[in-house]
Chain A
Amino acid sequence: MAELVKVEEVADSMFTMIKDTMGQKKWKATDLTKAVLELYGDRCDKTLAKSAIRELIESGKCVYTYFGGSFIEIPHKEGAEN
């Protein structure tokens, strides 16, 4: 079995995907998971992807948002807030 990539690297890749598509695409946890599984093939698995999402959120680089469903986004000022 191939050696797994590091959590930080997966988290960074996820962050780049979110950043590069800001305003065009909203990412759900499953979308990010599918994307990194595709990117890294057998060097990544679902548990690793889950840890990477946790890393993104707990470092404060990303936040969960709710617009109908739950998404993962880069923090920004809320439109509804005055």
Chain B
Amino acid sequence: MAEKERKTPKLDELEKGAWPSFVKEIKSAAGKNPMANDLLGQLERSYEEKIGHWKHGGIVGVLGYGGGVIGRYSDLPEEFPNVSHFHTMRINQPAGWFYTSDVLRKLCDIWEKHGSGLTNMHGSTGDMIFLGTRTDELEPIFSELTKLGFDLGGSGSDVRTPSCCCGKARCEWACYDTMALTYFLTMHYQDELHRPAFPYKWKFKMSGCPNDCVASVARADMSIIGTWRDDIQIDKSAVTEYAGKGMNIQRDVVGNCPAKCMEWDGTELKIDNKACVKCMHCINAMPKALSPGNDRGACILIGSKAPIVEGALLSSVLVPFIKLEPPYTELIDLIDRIHEVWSENGKNRERVGEFIQRVGMGNFLEAIEVEPVPEMVAHPRENPYVFYEEFFEDESEEQEESEEEK
């Protein structure tokens, strides 16, 4: 080994067991990379002392961009000089995370030359995460990445790297082309992605159907989830085949339908589609027999976030159904109106979901010019307190009149 071998008894514990171990990977990188070697040392020290030794940096980046680099420094630079700077870079991933092995090798070559060699493929933001480099390496890395056709992702108060499920590339349930929309939004919002101008972060996550494989309902300020509005397609002979092979359709499919809208009489499966809530359960249970309808599009939900400044929120329905096809004009108009209202009135570090809670859904809808609909209830038993002005105004007019009479 090129580097001195470190004693890391605490970290070694994390190599035990049948699962992948980041310690094992860092050790393997430490054999040829001094940053990875000092990282092991600093981490072992933190485990001994139960104290984190990273400091946040707020300034590092590449010229012209306000996102994509997250500054980190060690507070033990004398002991671990090779990790005195340890900045993270977010690299915008291709939609659906499809790569050729050739491009993966080239990405790793760039990173081994200019950074720790350690990556996280992929981070929870969706980006490729390059972990650990020095300030003076940022521009050279950026220049090599752009030559290879890659760009930095988002960080800070900007549009974060949009991400999606593999959609139509590999999944028959996809109700719209998630990868096409992800690419489109990434290109359309380049300025907003690289030049932070919002109160706080803004995340788009695209799932092709309500299975929501990218968990957009919990992780995106705007969750765009595929759905359909006609009837679930039933292949009767395939239903018979499932029954013939011993599937307990009554118990496992019909019995678990949350809308209680399915019927099975032993030979025929019936669905009351008006009552179906598109939960995907029956389709997941009998993929050969059932599939989403043909009139496909997406439901747009707004406002989810993890707890940082305030508690966690799930997204709630904003547009129950929208056809999503290029050039996506209706969607872009809606997003721009939301960005405008939130940018103008949002407080620093206030996510759009918190903003809606503060100003009230009724006021928010009025500001973005969207009509309230019953589907907008965020969770059962919640009253969104939408006032219908036409009724409201009538009453106040009457009141004015009666006051005038006095």
Residues of A within 8 A of B (CB): 28-30, 33, 50, 53-54, 57-58, 60, 63-70, 73, 75-76, 78, 80-82
Contacts and interface: CB of A to CB of B under 8 A. Distances in A.
Main secondary structure of the interface of A (DSSP, over half): mixed
Q: How large is the interface on B (under 10, 10 to 19, 20 to 34, 35 or more residues)?
A: 20 to 34
A81 B77 CA distance: 10
Main secondary structure of the interface of B (DSSP, over half): loop
B361 to A, nearest CB: 23
A1 B199 CA distance: 30
A78 B63 contact: no
Leading 8 A-B pairs by shortest Cβ distance: A64-B66, A70-B196, A70-B156, A29-B197, A70-B157, A80-B55, A66-B156, A66-B58
A69 B199 contact: yes
Interface in B8-49: none
Count chain B CB atoms within 10 A of each CB in A64, A69, A76 and give the residue with the most.
A64
Contact of B195 (A54, A76, A78): A54
Interface stretch (B229-237, B294-302, B341-349, B382-390): B341-349
B117 to A, nearest CB: 23
27 contacts: A28-B348, A30-B199, A33-B197, A50-B191, A57-B63, A57-B195, A63-B61, A64-B196, A65-B59, A66-B58, A66-B70, A66-B155, A67-B58, A70-B157, A73-B59, A75-B59, A78-B58, A78-B73, A80-B55, A80-B56, A80-B57, A80-B73, A81-B73, A81-B85, A81-B135, A82-B77, A82-B84
Interface string B61-84: 101111100110100010000001
Given A30-B344, A58-B63, A69-B349, 16 more contacts: A28-B157, A30-B198, A60-B63, A63-B59, A63-B61, A64-B66, A64-B156, A65-B59, A66-B59, A67-B58, A69-B156, A69-B348, A70-B157, A75-B59, A78-B57, A80-B71
Contact of A82 (B59, B70, B73, B158): B73
Nearest to A54: B195
Contacts of B65: 64
B158 A70 contact: yes
B58 A65 contact: yes
A29 to B, nearest CB: 4
B200 interface: yes
Contact of A69 (B77, B157, B343): B157
A61 B61 CA distance: 14
Contacts of B199: 28, 30, 69
B60 interface: yes
B38 to A, nearest CB: 14
A82 to B, nearest CB: 5
Contacts of B56: 80
Contacts of B343: 30
Contacts of A58: 63-64
Given A30-B344, A54-B195, A69-B348, A64 B61 contact: yes
A28 to B, nearest CB: 6
Interface string B180-223: 00000000000100011111100000000000000000000000
Nearest to B57: A80
A82 B57 CA distance: 11
A70 B66 contact: yes
Contacts of B60: 78
Count chain A CB atoms within 10 A of each CB in B65, B71, B197, B344 and give the residue with the most.
B197
A30 B59 contact: no
Given A80-B57, A81-B57, A69 B197 contact: no
A69 B200 CA distance: 6
A61 to B, nearest CB: 12
Contacts of A28: 157, 197, 199, 348
A78 B69 CA distance: 14
A17 to B, nearest CB: 16
Contacts of A68: 348-349
B59 A76 contact: yes
A29 B159 CA distance: 14
Interface string B372-385: 00000000000000
B197 A30 contact: yes
Interface string B146-168: 00000000011110000000000
Contacts of B155: 66
A50 B84 CA distance: 35
Nearest to A60: B63
